[in-house]
């Protein structure tokens, strides 16, 4: 690529590999070139190579570009994409291109060469967990359709997963003019989609994902309208909780900082997280997991009247804010801090080694060259570069090394900022609503243990049965039910190294229904091949072999849906033994 296609051309729909045959003096030109393929709508991992001849004038351009990027990174607080990247000496361009096409986004090929197999396996597992918990496409798609329609937009599904936007509300176009940082919001769109695999078609669809101007404007308007409701609070119902004790769901925002500061002097956050916890009447607290509110629905007026005494219970008017902040400081904050510190220190150590190696190599080279130039000048030889310029270059590199070392030292000073309370909601368990309801109106689904203790025992037996089945298959299961991720067991396939995500449901043999929460349904849609619903029937104390069901849900969840009820018989008919 050269400046002929450096700007004004969008190539993301047909290309993801770029080669720069010439290096301009201005690094912004490289940013512009790479932006032709690395932009909204790109479905592949982008790779960029800059061809540079060693020991030539072009090599001097490359060195100067590195210096300019370093200055820009310092001035902008590190928010500069490094378009020069890693120096591959002695590698054929053809081999690099073939590797990029062959290995794509495989983590073991994209990570550094020095990583051991266990580290690569750990990264792979983190990526698989993230894939199961991702918001795109299902949650973001449901949110977009609901919010867009609420604001007056018109959207219609034309093909499965592909939509035509017939009218964009004026409020979104106006908001884009205020906050827009990329392409403008259009009046209408021939096709949009939320899934990368559905972009190709007639007509080609735009991928609506975080960063797309239409979604960014929509999120900004919705936050402006509804964020005050977090502080106001609310009352929710958890239909899967058979207990009798209400819990207070508290939302906390927490950030980790280092010793660097922003332009206005405020602390620079390197990690920010919205965390959830449950407070109980006895003063105890527990981690709420990633998104517990997705499994709760709004309370109805009739239900509110039935549990009015629980809503105004004295313990809710106590010092619950101090309890929540205290638990966060003792538990959530240290966990967040240790996680970020472990990751960042390793990254900083690696950067420091590379920076020192590169700059010291340059310093030794220019220092030695200055000495040789001095000797040649004393011998009366004329040189293209005089010794004074070489010594000045050495001094600049030494000063740059000290400056970069100082910045890395500040990055190492990682500490936690105080947690901030963002809101709360009282969660009423379904068990309490049933207890308050008149006897004739109570409809208990067959197969659900009436006694919470008996139900917990059924779930324990079911978990043990699935653990035994997984071990018999040669897998390594791990109980993660307390982490409320949307599945109960993570089972590692020893042969392939991949994870299986298993949601376990223990039911009486005459059970009729089974309920799956929104978190569980979203996980099953996100990783359909790896998600397993395991149903374990218990017949008068005898535990039957688990039945594994895959791909049991094949529609999009509505934004307001919090759970789906399935017929046990229908599920068992499409299931099979553990495999």
Dump pLDDT digits (tens) for 39-56: 877 777 788 877 776 667
Mean pLDDT rounded to a whole number for the chain: 85
Provide the CATH number for the domain formed by 454-573 in this structure.
3.40.1350.10
Calculate mean pLDDT across residues 259-277.
Answer: 87
pLDDT at residue 245 is higher than 70: yes
- Domain 3-105 fold: Rossmann fold (3.40.50)
Rounded CA separation 200/20 (Å): 28
Residue intervals in the chain for CATH 3.30.360:
138-226
Look at 22-26, 153-157, 555-559 and tell me which has the smallest mean pLDDT.
Answer: 22-26
Look at 56-60, 149-153, 497-501 and tell me which has the smallest mean pLDDT.
Answer: 56-60
Provide the CATH number for the domain formed by 138-226 in this structure.
3.30.360
Judge contact between 491 and 502, C-beta under 8 A: yes
pLDDT-derived band at 123 (thresholds 50, 70, 90) equals confident
Which of 215, 112, 204, 113 is closest to 159 using CA atoms?
A: 204
Which of 205, 199, 170, 197 is closest to 185 using CA atoms?
A: 170
pLDDT at residue 73 is higher than 70: no
* Own/partner long-range contacts of 156-163 (Cβ < 8 Å, ≥24 apart): 158/191, 159/198, 159/201, 160/198, 161/137, 161/193, 161/194, 161/195, 161/198, 162/191, 162/192, 162/193, 162/198, 162/201, 162/205, 163/191, 163/192, 163/193
The pLDDT value given to residue 220: 94
pLDDT-derived band at 405 (thresholds 50, 70, 90) equals very high
- φ, ψ of residue 70 in degrees (nearest 5): -65, -40
Rg (alpha carbons) of the chain, rounded to whole number: 29
pLDDT at residue 25 is higher than 80: no
Calculate mean pLDDT across residues 223-244.
Answer: 89
Write the DSSP symbol of residue 312: T
Rounded CA separation 47/104 (Å): 9
The pLDDT value given to residue 20: 80
Calculate mean pLDDT across residues 405-422.
Answer: 92
pLDDT at residue 182 is higher than 60: yes
Q: What count of Cα atoms within 13 Å lies in the side-chain half-sphere of residue 101?
A: 8
Alpha carbon separation from 333 to 321, 418, 442 (Å, rounded): 16, 8, 42
Which has more pLDDT, 264 or 88? 264
Write the DSSP symbol of residue 19: E
DSSP per-residue string spanning 207-255: E--TT-HHHHHHHHHHHHHHTHHHHH-EEEEETT---S--EEEEEEEEE
- φ, ψ of residue 238 in degrees (nearest 5): -105, 105
Residue intervals in the chain for CATH 3.40.1350.10:
454-573
pLDDT at residue 498 is higher than 60: yes
The pLDDT value given to residue 60: 66
Dump pLDDT digits (tens) for 279-316: 999 888 988 888 899 999 999 999 999 999 999 999 99
Judge contact between 279 and 251, C-beta under 8 A: no
Residue intervals in the chain for CATH 3.40.50.300:
3-105
pLDDT-derived band at 541 (thresholds 50, 70, 90) equals confident
pLDDT at residue 447 is higher than 50: no
């Amino acid at each position: 690529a050269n400046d002929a296609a450096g700007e004004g051309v969008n190539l993301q729909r047909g290309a993801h590999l770029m080669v720069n045959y010439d290096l301009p003096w201005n690094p912004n030109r490289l940013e512009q070139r790479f932006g032709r393929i690395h932009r909204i709508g790109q479905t592949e991992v982008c790779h960029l190579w800059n061809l540079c001849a060693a020991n030539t004038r072009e090599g001097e351009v490359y060195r100067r570009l590195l210096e300019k990027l370093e200055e820009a990174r310092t001035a902008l607080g590190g928010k500069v994409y490094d378009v020069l990247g890693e120096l591959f000496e002695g590698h054929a361009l053809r081999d690099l291109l073939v590797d990029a096409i062959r290995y794509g986004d495989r983590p073991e090929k994209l990570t550094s060469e020095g990583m051991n197999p266990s580290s690569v396996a750990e990264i792979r597992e983190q990526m698989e967990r993230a894939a199961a918990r991702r918001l795109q496409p299902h949650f973001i798609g449901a949110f977009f359709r609901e919010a867009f329609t609420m604001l007056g937009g018109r959207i219609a599904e034309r093909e499965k997963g592909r939509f035509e936007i017939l009218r964009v509300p004026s409020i979104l176009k106006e908001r884009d003019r205020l906050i827009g940082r990329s392409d403008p919001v259009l009046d209408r769109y021939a096709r949009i989609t939320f899934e990368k695999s559905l972009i190709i078609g007639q007509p080609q669809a735009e991928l609506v994902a975080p960063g797309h101007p239409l979604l960014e404007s929509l999120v900004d308007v919705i936050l402006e309208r509804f964020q005050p409701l977090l502080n106001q609070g609310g009352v929710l119902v958890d239909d899967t909780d058979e207990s009798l004790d209400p819990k207070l769901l508290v939302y906390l925002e927490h950030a980790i900082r280092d010793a660097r500061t922003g332009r206005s002097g405020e602390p620079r956050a390197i990690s920010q997280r919205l965390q959830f916890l449950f407070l109980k009447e006895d003063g105890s607290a527990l981690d709420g997991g990633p998104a517990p509110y997705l499994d709760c629905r709004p309370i109805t007026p009739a239900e509110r009247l039935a549990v009015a005494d629980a809503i105004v219970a004295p313990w809710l008017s106590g010092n619950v804010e101090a309890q929540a902040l205290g638990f966060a400081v003792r538990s959530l904050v240290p966990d967040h801090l240790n996680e970020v510190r472990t990751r960042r220190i390793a990254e900083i150590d690696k950067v420091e080694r590379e920076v020192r190696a590169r700059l010291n190599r340059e310093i030794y080279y220019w220092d030695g060259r200055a000495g040789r130039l001095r000797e040649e000048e004393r011998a009366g030889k004329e040189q293209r570069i005089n010794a004074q310029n070489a010594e000045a270059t050495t001094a600049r590199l030494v000063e740059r090394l000290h400056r970069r070392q100082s910045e890395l030292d500040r990055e190492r000073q990682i500490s936690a900022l105080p947690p901030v309370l963002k809101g709360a909601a009282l969660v009423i368990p379904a068990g309490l609503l049933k207890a308050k309801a008149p006897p004739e109106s109570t409809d208990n689904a067959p197969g659900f243990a009436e006694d919470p203790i008996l139900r917990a025992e059924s779930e324990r037996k079911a978990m043990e049965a699935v653990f035994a089945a997984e071990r018999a298959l040669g897998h390594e299961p791990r109980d993660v039910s307390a982490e409320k991720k949307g599945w109960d067991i993570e089972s590692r396939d020893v042969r392939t190294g991949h994870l299986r995500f298993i949601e376990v449901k223990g039911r009486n043999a005459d059970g009729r229904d089974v309920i799956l929460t929104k978190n569980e349904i979203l996980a099953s849609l996100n990783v359909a091949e790896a998600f397993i619903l395991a149903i374990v029937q218990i017949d008068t104390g005898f535990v039957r072999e688990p039945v594994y069901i895959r791909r049991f849900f094949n529609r999009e969840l509505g934004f307001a849906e919090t759970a789906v009820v399935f017929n046990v018989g229908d599920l068992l008919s499409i299931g099979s033994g553990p495999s």
